[in-house]
Amino acid sequence: MDIDFPLILVLLVAGSGLVWLFDYMFLAGGRKLALLQLQRDYPEWDNEESMQHRKYREQADIAGGEPLLVEYSKSFFPVLLIVFVLRSFLVEPFQIPSSSMVPTLLVGDYILVNKFTYGIRLPVVRTKVLAINEPQRGDVMVFFPPHLNDTYFIKRVIGLPGDKIRYVDKVLYVNGERMPQKLLAQLPPARPTYRINMERMGEVEHEMQIDLRRRNDDFSVTVKEGHYFMMGDNRDNSSDSRVWGQVPERDIVGAAFAIWMHWESFLSVPSFKRLGSIQ
């Protein structure tokens, strides 16, 4: 099971904020009164050359000092809150863990995901509180698949609610219309096993890969209302809606829009050569 980072972040923000608030309402006043009493006990407390100043400082550090938990909470709460707002409602980074979106996205790509383009959602519970846009055919989308409700997946939106999808002989049909493909490369050139094509879906053009060694499928389905049909660009090596079903609207996370770094493994050197938008 993946670590539920959104839930952890919510708990950290709430915990540090509550500690800070409790201290402000119930503890900080007592420390201020203790400091005022010390100032009355040592009238020359603000004279740095007097003996009273030294005694005042020694006792003030004890009477007026913040508990360690309060000190840490006040330091980390603003930072955690900013991270929480950015990650939950604006932009979230992701790492590509598998080859299901090759050649569009490679293993080790670090991408940015727009969290508000499909509507503002509450973190953890995923309830949409503000509708903005709906996913469009051809979008690269991050979501929670129906069979793993705590794991992020990334695929391309192939079918919208009501669409009739058919995938046969490695060619995609949407509502009876063939999505045209143009050959870009065959790998390796001598005895090819992979073919890289440019596929057009309406206004969207994107690269996709097929494995010539895999058998031709004949798959068809009608997309249910409130659901989306997802497929990987690495068509013959992708676990997607053909395997585990359609994605409910409530499980959408956001739209992937940019690659900002490529770092294949801990022992490799990070690269920024793939920096750019995602098609």
Under 8 Å between Cβ of 94 and 78:
no
The CATH number of domain 96-277 is 2.10.109.10: yes
Q: Tell me the C-alpha distance between 105 and 89, whole Å.
A: 24
Give how far the C-alpha of residue 146 lies from the chain's centroid of Cα atoms, to the nearest Å.
Answer: 18
* Cα 101 to Cα 152, 156, 208, distances in angstroms: 14, 8, 8
Catalytic-role residue among 16, 73, 155, 241: 155
What is the tens place of the pLDDT at every residue in 85-120? Answer: 999 999 999 999 999 999 999 999 999 999 999 999
For position 216, what pLDDT does the model report? 84
Catalytic-role residue among 100, 115, 170, 241: 100
Q: Tell me the C-alpha distance between 208 and 241, whole Å.
A: 17
155 is catalytic: yes
Residues lower than pLDDT 70 in the chain: 1-3
Give how far the C-alpha of residue 67 lies from the chain's centroid of Cα atoms, to the nearest Å.
Answer: 35
Q: Tell me the C-alpha distance between 145 and 253, whole Å.
A: 11
Under 8 Å between Cβ of 96 and 269:
no
> Nearest Cα to 167, choosing from 217, 110, 230, 131?
217
Q: What are phi and psi of 45, to 5 degrees?
A: -60, -30
Please give the structure tokens belonging to residue 223: 């997309």
For position 1, what pLDDT does the model report? 42
State the DSSP code for 240. Answer: S
Under 8 Å between Cβ of 167 and 173:
yes
Nearest-5° angle of CA 86, CA 92, CA 93? 135
Q: In 153-244, at which residue ranges do the beta strands (DSSP E only) sit? A: 153-159, 164-168, 171-174, 177-178, 181-187, 194-201, 204-211, 218-222, 227-231
Helix (H, G, I), strand (E, B) or coil at 190: coil
Ranges for all domains in the chain classified under CATH 2.10.109.10: 96-277
Q: Where are the alpha helices (DSSP H) in the chain?
A: 5-22, 28-41, 51-63, 68-85, 241-244
277 is catalytic: no
Q: What are phi and psi of 132, to 5 degrees?
A: -125, -75
